[in-house]
Amino acid sequence: MKDGKDFSRGSTEGPEIRLGLVGIGKIARDQHLPAIAADARYRLVATASRNDMVEGVPGYRDIDALLAAGHQFDAVSLCTPPEGRADIARRAIDAGLHVMLEKPPGVTTDEVRELVRHAAARGVTLFASWHSREAAAVDAARDWLAEHIVTGGRILWKEDIRQWHPGQEWILERAGMGVFDPAINALSILTRILPARFEVEAATLDIPSNRSAAIAAACTLRSAEGYAIEADLDFLFGGSPSWDIELATDAGPLALRNGGATIELPGAAPHAGPNCEYPRLYGRFHALVEAAEIDADTAPLELVEQAYRIGVQRPSPPFAF
């Protein structure tokens, strides 16, 4: 927020940001392009992607060609998979550009911390975005939980990789994080709605024999206060997806469903709101640029690192899309 204006909630005021978009894949097309087009404060100047471009917008093969093409940019938004994204971000920061990162912000927390140092030294904004934190009911859950005591809970994050990530071979490489690519969304919500610090106490990771990342996992997260959150994560779930967080509290259960879009509170009907995640992210990025601030929370990524570090690996059948 700056000068009393809440940019995260759809303000359309403020200076124009001339933007480059890197990695034209599923999320760039599904969410970034519509959010950018709907926000008058952004102008999409050009894109960089090896195999794709956006109609009517100059397109270059990679970040170096984008930067060398002679356009005027203020910022870039990076929608490539996590591996290699830090290198792209570093080049953009070196060119004096503000950078917005898709989730997860890097392959490792060290990589992200180094980017933070680099951006700070260059005086540009770095925004590690967590789109699920902008889901409609997340703020309401955080506000309600601030008044109550949590005693335990569970995360059920289950979806069909073939439906939601068709052909994305990178996602089952270690750097792609496997089932933690979607599940880190749950961890981003958990670490937003609860003040507790969590550690991964135990984990089992089902890793297909021909892959290096987990296709399913079970984790126990332990809060600093001592309660446990059990996480049941499945990338081979054929039914309608489960993107749910259920918490037990001293006042009864709270549930966030549909990836944080719907909240259930004791004695009340479920309440759902519209999906404004990406418009809110671009609003937040604009506010950060205006305020010359960095926002790069690595808490969700730390939990994924811990799960892979301590997790007991169970071989599972080979996987093919």
Catalytic residue positions? Answer: 103
- Candidates 9, 12, 15, 50: give the one binding ligand NAP (CB under 6 A): 50
Give yes or no for a contact between 227 and 246, defined as CB atoms under 8 angstroms apart.
no
Q: Does 79 bind ligand NAP (CB under 6 A)?
A: yes
Q: How far is the CB of 23 from ligand NAP (least distance, A)?
A: 3
Which amino acid belongs to residue 186? A
Among the residue ranges 45-53, 137-145, 230-238, 261-269, the one whose residues contact ligand NAP (CB under 6 A) = 45-53
Q: Which stretch binds ligand NAP (CB under 6 A): 4-12, 75-83, 152-160, 286-294?
A: 75-83
On the CB side of 65, CA atoms within 13 Å amount to 12
Q: Which is nearer to ligand NAP, 31 or 249 (CB)?
A: 31
Q: How far is the CB of 246 from ligand NAP (least distance, A)?
A: 22
Contact between 26 and ligand NAP by CB under 6 A: the answer reads: yes
Question: Contact 126/93 with Cβ under 8 angstroms?
Answer: yes
Residue span binding ligand NAP (CB under 6 A) among the ranges 24-32, 111-119, 294-302, 307-315: 24-32
Q: Measured from the CB of residue 13, what is the shortest distance to ligand NAP in angstroms? A: 27
Q: Does 39 bind ligand NAP (CB under 6 A)?
A: no
Nearer CB in complex with ligand NAP: 168/220: 168
- State yes or no: residue 41 binds ligand NAP (CB under 6 A): no
Report the nearest approach of ligand NAP to the CB of residue 22 (Å): 8
Beta pairing partners, 313: 205
CB burial of 38-65 (b: ≥16 within 10 Å; e: otherwise) equals: ebebbebbbbbbeeeebeeeebbeebee
- Minimal distance, residue 321 CB to ligand NAP, in Å: 12
If one asks whether residue 152 binds ligand NAP (CB under 6 A), the answer comes out as: no
82 Cβ neighbours under 8 A, 6+ residues apart: 104, 105, 106, 107, 175, 176, 177
Residue 144: name the closest of 10, 227, 265, 321 by CA.
Answer: 265
End-to-end Cα distance, the chain: 44
125 near ligand NAP, judged by CB under 6 A: no
Q: Which two tokens stand for residue 296?
A: 């790069």
> Reading across the β-sheet that carries 126-128, which strands appear in turn?
59-60, 42-48, 17-22, 75-78, 98-101, 126-128
Among 27, 54, 202, 299, binds ligand NAP (CB under 6 A): 27
Question: What gap in Å lies between CA 45 and CA 245, rounded to an integer?
Answer: 39
* Contact footprint for ligand NAP (CB under 6 A): 23-28, 49-52, 79-82, 84, 102-103, 131, 168, 170, 181
